[in-house]
Amino acid sequence: RAWSPSLPAMAAGPPPPPDLPPLEPLPLPVFGEEGVGEKFLRKTRENPLVPLGCLCTVGVLTYGLISFKRGNTRRSQLMMRARIVAQGFTFAALLGGMVVTAMKSQK
């Protein structure tokens, strides 16, 4: 004889009142045709600190890797720490931009 789990009987609640209107889906927002370039420029204008932070992060990372390859370990370690600071700045700028956008949409 095979084992079968016994499920508790589900309690049947009262049926919903008949006078409630049926739920209708929300209308979807309509967006214009926007290419990748236009979207990038729009987002850059909305929050210019994020691309700036990304460029700083990439620049510091590249300089740190070059220093590492040349054998300058002290400078390489310094650049890796600076990269963490640049990434933190980028993340803070991203969060700040999201907060500002959310506050604008509430108004």
Q: What is the pLDDT of residue 4?
A: 57
Say what the pTM is: 0.62
pLDDT per position as a tens digit, 64-99 = 999 999 999 999 999 999 999 999 999 999 999 999
Cβ neighbour number for residue 3 with a 10 Å cutoff: 4
DSSP 23-79: P-PPPPP------HHHHHHHHHHH-THHHHHHHHHHHHHHHHHHHHHHT-HHHHHHH
pLDDT per position as a tens digit, 13-56 = 777 667 767 778 878 777 678 888 888 898 888 889 999 999 99
Asked if the model's pLDDT at residue 10 lies above 60, the reply is: no
Q: What is the pLDDT of residue 35?
A: 86
